[in-house]
Amino acid sequence: MLDTSLPHQAKRIDPATGVREIAEFFGPEEPRTFGFTHLPSSRPVGGVVICSPLYAEFNRNYRREVLIARQLASLGVAVQRFHYRGHGNSQGGIHDATFDTMLDDALAAAQRLVDSAGVNNLAFFGTRFGGLVAASAATRFGKAPLVLWDPVLNHSQYLRDIYRAYRIQALKEGARSSESAEGMEEHLRRDGELDILGYTITRSLYEGVQDRSLDKEVGLSPRPLLVIRFGRDPRLERGISELVLRWQMAGFDVNHLSIGRQEAWWFTSGALVIQEALTEPVDLTVDWLMKTFDQRTELL
């Protein structure tokens, strides 16, 4: 018989670092968000909310997000990871997931971190599409520092990357795909969903981001900002360089780095097994966040 008296949380304490990891569902009402809280053994010096990417990119980045959370927690920073509703282990249907629900999830995750860790000085970290969510959430927390990995600049660039991945996979497999990018977009509008390499892209999410861009979500209220680009994609390089310049002119303290190796966000090649690709962005991000928290603590 199913034991329904199970606790709502699962906890683990790392014997080496004393870091507590708590897995649970949270949020004001169902469907609830699933997440992990990483709590340091001592009073936290700050908190970081991690906003994951979506689809294949979510899987691609998962281990790095775990490593970042554990490293930060071992250094005294509380961290909240979570799955967007309709994705991963969270409740909810994929067709109900929109940019607004993703932002609500990020804000609920931030509140969960404030409640469980007792921190008020938060930073936000987002990868690819998660960068849009993290940027938007950060604007609700004053001058909260923001970390962006290979951020999506706008919905059309993101969809183009996804379509291109689909076409390239078909090319590699020798398949003839006759559907154009415009045809696939029409397919998405008509049918409400689109299968790309086994992932369901939904109209609800697509239509909800048409007016959104990284430029708008970050805004012009200066905050510490770390942007890490994976590789030298010329299209991303041009776009992000223009944005970085604009942020600098608006008074942002921007650290813009390239780690030289393009990430195979949509492909299952062996690139991620290279240790450098796994740890380099993690180490850079942890170092920057620790310095940023130290500076902010000195100012208080």
Whole-number minimum distance, CB 164 to another protein, in Å? 6
Q: Is 290 in the site for another protein (CB under 8 A)?
A: no
Write down the least CB distance from residue 147 to another protein, Å. 24
Give the count of beta carbons closer than 10 Å to the beta carbon of residue 87. 20
For another protein, the binding residues in 155-174 under the rule CB under 8 A are 160, 163-165, 167-172, 174
Segment contacting another protein (CB under 8 A): 67-75, 136-144, 210-218, 226-234?
Answer: 226-234
241 binds another protein (CB under 8 A): no
**235 near another protein, judged by CB under 8 A:** yes
Strands 224-229 and 146-149 turn out to be parallel
Residue 56 in 3-state DSSP? helix
| CB 78, CB 44: distance < 8 Å | yes
CB-nearer residue toward another protein: 91 or 157: 157
Q: How far apart, in whole angstroms, are the C-alpha atoms of residue 288 and residue 148?
A: 12
d(CA 124, CA 85) in angstroms, rounded, equals: 18
Q: Please state the separation of Cα 217 from the chain's center in Å.
A: 14
Contact set for another protein, span 24-43 (CB under 8 A): none
Residue 262: partners with Cβ closer than 8 Å, 6 or more residues away: 230, 231, 232, 233
Exactly one of 181, 259, 278, 290 binds another protein (CB under 8 A); which one?
181
Site residues for another protein per CB under 8 A: 160, 163-165, 167-172, 174, 176, 180-181, 231, 233-235, 262, 264, 266-267, 269, 271
